[in-house]
């Protein structure tokens, strides 16, 4: 199965998909991957189900 790229419209969407709080600045994003809560299988269709 071919993997599709995951496209986010904003950094806030990326943070939400990874279980992180929204960034405090629109152009700067810091993600603590140690606290990220996501299942890579959620992104197999090229999107996160909660962001549709």
Mind listing the pLDDT tens digit for each residue in 16-41? 888 888 888 878 888 777 877 777 77
Query: What pLDDT is stored for residue 7 in this prediction?
Result: 81
At residue 1 the predicted structure's pLDDT band, cuts being 50, 70 and 90, is low
C-alpha of 10 from chain center: 9
pLDDT > 70? residue 52: no
Q: Count other C-beta atoms under 10 Å from residue 17's C-beta.
A: 20
Ramachandran assignment for 49, one of left (phi > 0), alpha (psi -120 to 50 degrees), beta (any other): alpha
pLDDT at site 30: 82
At 31, phi and psi to the nearest 5?
-115, 130
**pTM (predicted TM-score):** 0.58
Is the predicted pLDDT of residue 48 greater than 70, yes or no?
A: no
């Amino acid at each position: 199965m071919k993997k599709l790229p995951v496209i986010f419209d904003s950094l806030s969407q990326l943070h939400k998909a990874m279980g992180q709080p929204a960034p405090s600045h629109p152009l700067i994003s810091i993600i603590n991957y140690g606290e990220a809560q996501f299942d890579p299988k959620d992104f197999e269709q090229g999107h996160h189900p909660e962001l549709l």
